[in-house]
Amino acid sequence: MNNSLMKQFPFDAEQPPILACPSCEHGRLRFIKESLVKSEDARTRNWKENWDEYDSRDATLHFSVRWKCDEPKCAEVLHMIGEACYGIHGVVDSDGQDYPEEYLAYHPHFMAPSLPLFSIPEGTPKTVRASLKAGFNLAFCDTNAAANHLRKAVECLLNELGVPNNTALGNRIKNLTSPHDLLKHDLEAVKWLGNEGSHGTGINQEHMLIGYAIMEKCLLHLYDGLHQKVKAINQHKGPVPTARHFRHPSDGSAPIS
């Protein structure tokens, strides 16, 4: 789980975070300061012009900004839009004294391409991957919708695992058979969180993120390449023969298929 991602927001444009590039996954997204555009919303402008008691702490601004990957071969450009409001943070002056300072806190709502909440294991089926990515797209602006997509990802996963789609989701999870029955408790927890976003009173960001973290655990169990190797080594009780084996180069022999 990309635990540090949500901690980067809201951000201060004077000290922007450095984000991992969602396209190449090893480059860093750098904030393009000159691309930042912001404006007060109509309510704030009206209030500012017509009320003596205007307080900047109640102002709301809309913003857009671009970020660019510093990996030259990638150079992905991420577009971000969102809202900004004034906040207070502590600043230390040259004498080491702490004092409060007003700053604009930028809250992203949408990003294109989206920032992943976790790196989806390579072998994950397309349908599950698509639901997760749809959730990633909404995770910063609508936690309920993101939780709903997570619930859909569970439905897609059960389809991929061959569980008949002829009953409620809770029953489908209970119908998981060995060896996937190990996932029952985890998927049930994801279902409860997804239900809260879909039909309940609503889900906050913390609980939505817990749901995605549990789903990541399930997908790593099913599709992560290293985990599959661990299972194979244990079943084989030792190194698993691969398709081609090579003798040590010093013995001068040809490779064995």
Chain positions contacting Zn ion, by CB under 5 A = 21, 23-24, 27, 69, 71, 74, 76
Give φ, ψ of 102 to 5 degrees. -75, 140
User: Which residue type is seen at 108?
Assistant: P
Residue in the block written with tokens 């661990």: 230
| Min CB(221)–Zn ion separation in Å | 28
Residue in the block written with tokens 């959730």: 135
Comparing CB distances to Zn ion, the nearer of 76 and 186 is 76
| Min CB(198)–Zn ion separation in Å | 34
Comparing CB distances to Zn ion, the nearer of 23 and 60 is 23
Comparing CB distances to Zn ion, the nearer of 60 and 114 is 114
Question: What do you get for the CA distance between the two ends of the chain, in Å?
Answer: 40
β-partners of residue 82 are 63, 108
Q: Residue 170: in which H helix or E strand, if any?
A: helix 169-174
Distance (Å, whole) CA 89 – CA 111: 26
Distance (Å, whole) CA 75 – CA 7: 24
| Min CB(31)–Zn ion separation in Å | 15
| Min CB(28)–Zn ion separation in Å | 8
Comparing CB distances to Zn ion, the nearer of 71 and 224 is 71
| Cα four-point dihedral sign 89, 93, 99, 103 | negative
47: buried, middle or exposed (CB in 10 Å: 19+, 13-18, 0-12)? middle
Decide: 154 and 185 in contact? Cβ < 8 Å. no
| Min CB(67)–Zn ion separation in Å | 10
Comparing CB distances to Zn ion, the nearer of 22 and 197 is 22
| Min CB(71)–Zn ion separation in Å | 5
Comparing CB distances to Zn ion, the nearer of 71 and 142 is 71
